[in-house]
Amino acid sequence: MFSLMANCCNWLKRWREPARKVTLVMVGLDNAGKTATVRGIQGDNPNDVAPTVGFSKVDLKQGKFEVTIFDLGGGKRIRGIWKNYYSESHGVVFVVDSSDVQRIQETRETMAEVLQHPRIAGKPVLVLANKQDQEGALAEADIIENLSLEKLVNENKCLCQIEPCSAVLGYGKKVDKSIKKGLNWLLSNIAKDYEAITERVQKDTAEQRALEEQDKKERAERVRRIREERERQEREEAEREGRPVQEEAPDDENMPSPFQPISNVISVNEDKERKRQKGLQEGTTNSLEYEEDNDEEPEQSRQTPENSSSGSATTGEQSKKKTRKLHLKRKHRVDPLRTEDAPAESPTPPPPPVGWATPKVSRLPKLEPLGDSKHSVGGV
């Protein structure tokens, strides 16, 4: 009776306690099926999945846990970012392609690097032997032997569970039972030591942020030294050649922010457009006034054949005056050619008369029939 009451109290205590936040990292070689596994757990169709570039973050609810899974890309160039997520992870899901026997050595080396990392050692690890539905897939015992899983787990003091599965056989409620079983095992082992793991996660995260800040300051200091050295060399070179020293560019702190409210930008553009329109209108008015002044010039100022000799004397004086900018007058347009002013085209010559410059046709005399003739032959 006493044990029954104790169990009921423990169950009620667990039921009332808030959901625990857990962060998991899912790693493995490229094309191992990590994204398909995450999508199947989330309830999406795991088929036709594109390779992960970088990482993807998935949030889901598993019982009393609010789980965040970081699906990290498995390419060789992307594996370097895995260590940035180890500090905030409570556990690891390592996905293995059971059908890719040729890369099993690469898989073992990659798993060894993950489990030996100081921010992963000691945390629970779930190994999913994926693609069991394909022909030639390695069995559970063969994977343990080829990966030297027992040795790696014992050396790094990690709780480990391996589950053969196939991520493409179902999703949501119909997801592979081995995947669901392995995930429940991982969350239950995290829950057993949740306070200690959470404290370690907070400590590792604070240390990593401090290291990142230190690296950021060191990079900024290196950049500053390189810039000062380059400016010193340029200054010495300018002094040797006798060139003026260029002024240093303003610091980023003193530079105005390029991000301004859109209303200010619109008002500035409207002012510029208004000034431009005003300038165009003033220019048009000045050109029209100049045209009117030219139209009112006296006839004496125009040079004619009679006063060409007298006008040549005043040409030098007029050239000394300030010249105005010429504008194209409206009367300077090109008028179409008038047909009546054009010289008359020569008419088409008439055709030559018939028989002109052609040989005459000789006419043959008319031939009379033989026989009775008006002239007698024998009457002489």
pLDDT digits (tens, 9 = 90+) for 158-217: 999 999 999 888 887 788 889 999 999 999 999 999 999 999 999 999 998 898 899 899
| Separation of alpha carbons 71 and 82, rounded Å | 10
Position 93 pLDDT exceeds 90: yes
Q: Answer for the pair 104, 142: CB distance below 8 angstroms, yes or no.
A: no
Mean pLDDT of 218-232: 91
Q: Are 50 and 172 in contact (CB under 8 A)?
A: no
- Residue 291: CB atoms within 10 A of its CB come to 15
pLDDT of residue 335: 55
Please give the pLDDT value at position 307. Answer: 46
Least Cα distance to 260 among 272, 268, 252 occurs for 268
Better-predicted residue by pLDDT, 362 or 176: 176
Q: How many C-beta neighbours within 10 Å does residue 204 have?
A: 17
Tell me whether residue 31 is annotated as binding: yes
Q: Which of 330 and 181 is assigned the larger pLDDT?
A: 181
pLDDT digits (tens, 9 = 90+) for 33-64: 898 898 888 888 777 776 776 778 888 888 88
How much is the pLDDT for 322? Answer: 47
List the beta bridge partners of residue 91.
24
**Is there a binding annotation on residue 45?**
no
Residue 125 has a pLDDT of 95
Higher pLDDT, 75 or 346: 75
| Range name among 6-10, 14-18, 370-374 with the lowest pLDDT average | 370-374
pLDDT digits (tens, 9 = 90+) for 98-112: 999 999 999 999 999
Tell me the sheet residues that pair with 204. none
In this prediction, residue 271 has a pLDDT band, given cuts at 50, 70 and 90, of confident
Alpha-carbon gap, residue 211 to 216, rounded angstroms: 8
Q: Is 34 annotated as a binding residue?
A: yes
Query: pLDDT at position 109, please?
Result: 93
E strand intervals along the chain: 20-27, 55-62, 65-72, 91-97, 125-130, 160-164
Please check if 52 is assigned to a binding site: yes
pLDDT at residue 305 above 50?
Answer: no
- As beta bridge partners, residue 55 has 72
- pTM for the whole structure: 0.58
Choose between 294 and 75: higher pLDDT.
75
**Beta strand 160-164 with 65-72: parallel, antiparallel or unpaired?**
unpaired
Residue type, 139: A
Share of residues in the chain with pLDDT > 90 (%): 33
Determine if residue 35 is labeled as part of a ligand binding site: yes
The answer to whether 161 and 195 have CB atoms below 8 angstroms apart is no
Determine phi and psi for 27, rounding to 5 degrees: -125, 170
Per the annotation, does 28 bind a ligand?
yes
Range from 38-47, 78-87, 120-129, 281-290 carrying the lowest mean pLDDT: 281-290
Annotated binding residue 59: no
Q: Where are the domains of the chain?
A: 19-192, 196-241
State residue 355 phi and psi, 5-degree precision.
Answer: 90, -10
Q: Are strands 91-97 and 20-27 parallel, antiparallel or unpaired?
A: parallel
- The predicted structure's pLDDT at residue 243: 77
Residue type, 368: E
Stretch among 36-40, 119-123, 285-289 having the lowest mean pLDDT: 285-289
Q: What band does 320 get if pLDDT is binned at 50, 70 and 90?
A: very low
Considering only residues 378 and 345, tell me which one the structure prediction assigns the higher pLDDT.
345
Higher local confidence (pLDDT), 29 or 240 = 29
Number of helices (H) and strands (E) in the chain: give both, helices first. Answer: 9, 6
Residue 306 pLDDT: 45
Distance CA 110, CA 123 (A): 17
Report the topology of domain 19-192. Rossmann fold (3.40.50)
pLDDT at 279: 79
Any known ligand binding at 379? no
| Contact indicator for 137, 106 with CB cutoff of 8 Å | no
CA distances for 109 relative to 105, 106, 112, angstroms: 6, 5, 5
- Bridge-partner residues for 58, per DSSP? 69
- Angle between helix axes 194-241 and 177-192 (nearest 10 degrees) is 90
pLDDT given at position 352: 60
- The whole-number pLDDT of residue 285 equals 61
Average pLDDT of 224-232?
91
Look at residue 289 in the predicted model and tell me its pLDDT. 53
**Average pLDDT over all residues of the chain:** 76
Neighbours of 138 (CB within 10 A): 22
* Tens digits of residue pLDDT in 350-361: 666 555 555 555
According to DSSP, residue 365 is labeled P
pLDDT value for 260 = 57
Establish whether 32 is an annotated binding residue: yes
DSSP code string of 70-84:
EEE--STTTGGGGGG
Q: How far is 206 from 210, CA to CA, in rounded Å?
A: 6
Cα 152 to Cα 113: distance, rounded to the nearest angstrom: 10
CB contact at 8 A, 36 and 168: yes
Query: Any binding-site annotation on 311?
Result: no
CA distance linking residue 20 with residue 41, whole number of Å: 18
pLDDT at 236: 86
Distance CA 316, CA 38 (A): 94
The Cα-based distances of 267 to 178, 183, 219, 260, 272 in angstroms read: 64, 59, 41, 12, 9
DSSP bridge pairs for 254: none
Interatomic CA distance for residues 130 and 27, integer angstroms: 13
Give residue 225's pLDDT: 92
Task: State the pLDDT at residue 47.
Answer: 76
**Three-state DSSP class for residue 242:** coil
